[in-house]
Amino acid sequence: MYLMRIGTPGAEKPVVRLDDDTYVDVSDVTRDFDEQFFGSGGPASLRAVVDERVASGHVARFEGERIGAPIARPHQILCIGLNYRDHAAETGQAVPDEPIVFNKAPNTLIGPNDDVRIPRGSTKPDWEVELGIVIGSRASYLESPEEAASVIAGYTLVNDVSERAFQIERGGQWVKGKSAETFNPAGPWLVTPDELDDVDDLGMWLDVNGVRRQTGSTSTMVFNSRFIVQYLSQFMVLEPGDLINTGTPPGVGMGFRPPVWLQPGDVMELGIDGLGVQRQHVIGPR
């Protein structure tokens, strides 16, 4: 299934996408795609509802509604750094022996086509196309990647927007460069695992102002999605609806010589096979 949330910010309704033109409204079945929904096995319970409504013709058409993030604000957004060998090389850093873990503020989450706002004092805003994992059930101390796969609700496209000066030059705390408002566009949909032939071989790309900046594949990840979930569960409890950003391929702004930074007026477009496409305008500080 393809889970989406559409409507104005703060008033999105949950729907299941059928194709580019149509969807099934499930807002009478669940109030949102949130912790309660995922923790109660919500995706599995929706299948029969969707099939019944499609069969009876209870299908709606998209008519230009705003698309929100495919999940409600999560308990936490966890991130993995330097998880592509070629990205580590472009930043001049060694490939890590274990996942580098940091976090983003949960209120960075926005829709896939919402504006990205550069924060006050920013000098080095950057882009990062990434595969996002959404957790489907409470998990800790998972014993294997196979067990980890069983707690993954699905996958989504994310843009891990970053402010490199805040991240690198302001005391070494990456969270400071990752947590400005609007810094985590997600969606347009969450794809359940059964819809993807091979999550470890998805093409990914990002353009800025129509110029291709990133081209990559999840096949070059150092640590794949199941390993990441198992690994994180050794250090913390993962909650239903949590979002994990899994790292980016080469082509980020800080990797160019000289570096290329986002400016107000820029347009970012990005996509991952099967996970849809995003488009964000960059706007200036408040």
Quick one: 33 and 146 in the same domain? no
pLDDT: which is higher, 125 or 44:
125
Quick one: 101 and 181 in the same domain? yes
DSSP count for the chain of H helices, then E strands: 6, 19
Quick one: 162 and 103 in the same domain? yes
Checking if the pLDDT of 104 tops 80, the result is yes
The confidence band for 22, taking pLDDT boundaries of 50, 70 and 90, is: very high
In a domain, 70, yes or no: no
Structural domains in the chain (count): 2
Quick one: 117 and 45 in the same domain? no
The confidence band for 90, taking pLDDT boundaries of 50, 70 and 90, is: confident
> Averaged over 80-97, what is the pLDDT?
83
CB of 252 closer than 8 Å to CB of 88 = no
> Averaged over 196-205, what is the pLDDT?
97
Say which range, 157-161, 253-257, 279-283, has the weakest mean pLDDT: 253-257
Quick one: 30 and 170 in the same domain? no
Quick one: 183 and 222 in the same domain? yes
Q: Single out the residue in 61, 86, 107 at which a domain terminates.
A: 61
Quick one: 113 and 53 in the same domain? no
Quick one: 36 and 132 in the same domain? no
Quick one: 9 and 102 in the same domain? no
CB of 73 closer than 8 Å to CB of 107 = yes
The confidence band for 125, taking pLDDT boundaries of 50, 70 and 90, is: very high
CATH number for the domain that contains residue 213: 3.90.850.10
Quick one: 204 and 101 in the same domain? yes
- What's the token pair of residue 282? 């960059």
> Averaged over 155-168, what is the pLDDT?
96
The confidence band for 173, taking pLDDT boundaries of 50, 70 and 90, is: confident
User: Domain range for residue 46?
Assistant: 2-61
pLDDT of 111: 98
Identity (one letter) of the amino acid at 24?
V
In percent, how much of the chain has pLDDT > 90?
93
Q: Which residues contact 178 (CB under 8 A, 6 or more apart)?
A: 79, 102, 103, 104, 105, 108, 160, 161, 162, 163, 167
Average pLDDT, the chain: 96
Checking if the pLDDT of 92 tops 90, the result is no
Checking if the pLDDT of 94 tops 90, the result is no
Quick one: 263 and 180 in the same domain? yes
